[in-house]
Structure 1
Amino acid sequence: MADLQIILHYLSDLKANNNREWYHAHKKEKMEAMKEFENLVQDLMIIISKDEPNILQFQPKDLIFSLVRDTRFSNDKSPYRPAFRAHISQKGKLPIPVGFFIYIEPDGNSIIGGGLFADMFRDATNMMRNYLIQHAKEFENILSNNRFSAYFQLLGAKLKRPPKGYDPDFPYIEYIKYKNWFVEYHLEDVDLLKGDMFDNLIEMYRAVKPFNDFINKALIDFKMPTR
């Protein structure tokens, strides 16, 4: 079982010393913390693979994002993100198909989530909207399910008015206004250190799975843009 205390301790230190000199001087601590996070991702993959066997084609490191930040277009020039992030999906870290997202950052900033976070793919947004036209009631049932709503509520960028070409009187037009559809559950540091933490993560995975499955059905024909 992963030691979350080691992870939180390293990330807290990185957050307080977010510079290249400290980062490179503490490579050993980074590797120890990353190994614990890889252990956590591996344990999650084993459980998730019972529903999605293709997950096991990846190694945990294949699903984990870099700590290095792209600061080119950001006012925040901190070189590192003091968080460990992973996206457990049938195509790895790619945003589509959607999967189970885990984000660990100290000071109560950790997140468990799922769904379509990226709204830069217009084709994906259109596919989801068109699928909702036919299956909106099913989507509503997923959102209102007690297991799901115990942790999650629908989030995402949303238009003020119905998008062009969609009937404003459609009963579920509020779902159509979204440009992306995702959910998040925030965890305090103390939650990550509880003995039942892993069981709770698995319960959240099972709660969000129908939501992810719905979106992946909508996006089954989506092709990632080529550069």
Structure 2
Amino acid sequence: MAKQSQVIIPASGYDFLEKLRKNNNREWFNEHKIAYQQELLHIENFAEALLAKMNVHDLIETPSGKKSLYRIYRDTRFSQDKTPYKTHWSGSFKRATKQRRGGYYFHIEKGNSFVAGGFFAPVPADLKLIRDDIAFDPAPLQKIIHSKTFTSAFGTLQGEQLKTAPKGYPADHEAIDLLRYKQYLLIRRFTDEEVMEASFLEEANKTYKAMRPFFDYMSEVLTSNSNGE
């Protein structure tokens, strides 16, 4: 693999996806399978280099960059869109052990590239733990999401929200805006030009590092018992 400082996502990666978008069928894809494999190798190298950097500041269970990547083949069984292929590159990294909560994700698509993390679909029990902690004392989470490091990287906390207060929590609670979240997502968007720069690898890693205070807070909330132990 190339040195990490030389790992880049080339313009040809975007070009292939755009051609696939216009020719999203099995015949075209099979005819261009070699081009796909060449572009996929660039993404695998990027993910492998990113994983190496992440393991310096976190413990990642995902064994390799290649294993982090999502398949380009779409599951069309329950979708009205029957096109067989995704038109983006993406991958995720799983933090090791049950004590480390939160997941890392990246998405490369023309005009819609981002590095993200958080809790995409927390189970009801976890969502209740989070809301109970916020309801008891919202200050720790508010301090994290209002910090300069957080706002400069992610702007604001994102994710789907209820339109009203969740059942069992007062509508006039001081942190009702946080209690209404159903997802807790941290997202940093990048332009196509930024993704193709040599600095993107380090910027993606810095973005993941900036998630740690939020992940540490959530990990403590989700792995403590009712006595806070």
TM-score of the pair, normalised by structure 2 = 0.84
- Partner AA of 2:134 in structure 1: L
Tell me which of 209, 219, 227 is aligned to 1:206: 209
Task: Indicate the RMSD between aligned Cα atoms, in angstroms.
Answer: 2.2
1:36-55 alignment to 2 at 5 Å?
A: 36-53=42-59, 55=60
Counterpart of 1:144 in structure 2 is 146
Equivalent positions of 1:1-227 (< 5 A) are: 1-5=6-10, 6-53=12-59, 55=60, 58-90=63-95, 97-106=101-110, 108-118=111-121, 121-152=123-154, 153-220=156-223
- Structure 1 residues 67 and 218, CA gap change in structure 2 (3 angstroms): farther
CA contact (8 A) 1:69 1:81 kept: yes
- Deviation string, structure 1 residues 153-199 (Cα, Å, up to 9, x no partner): 11111112111111333221211111111022222211112232222
Letter in 2 for 1:126: K
User: Cα offset for 1:57?
Assistant: 5.6
Matched letter for residue 43 of structure 2: F
Question: One-letter code of the match for 1:90?
Answer: R
Give the counterpart letter for 2:69 in structure 1: I
Residue 195 of structure 1 aligns with an amino acid whose one-letter code is A
Task: Write the letter of the residue equivalent to 1:210.
Answer: P
Change (3 A) 1:74 1:168: same
Q: What letter matches 2:146 in structure 1?
A: S
Structure 1: tracts of 5 or more residues without a match: 222-227
Q: Find the aligned partners of 2:38 and 2:70 in 1 and give their Cα distance.
A: 16
Give the gaps of 5 or more residues in structure 2.
1-5, 225-229
Sequence identity (%): 27
Partner Cα distance (1:7, 1:215) in 2: 35
Give the letter for the 1:191 counterpart.
E
**1:79 alignment partner, SS class:** coil
- CA drift of 1:135 comes to 4.7
Q: TM-score, normalised by structure 1?
A: 0.85
Distance 1:173 1:149 in 2: 20
Distance 1:27 1:136 in 2: 51
Q: How many residues align?
A: 215
Change over 3 Å in CA distance of 1:140–1:185 after alignment to 2: same
Give the equivalent residue in structure 2 for 1:225: none
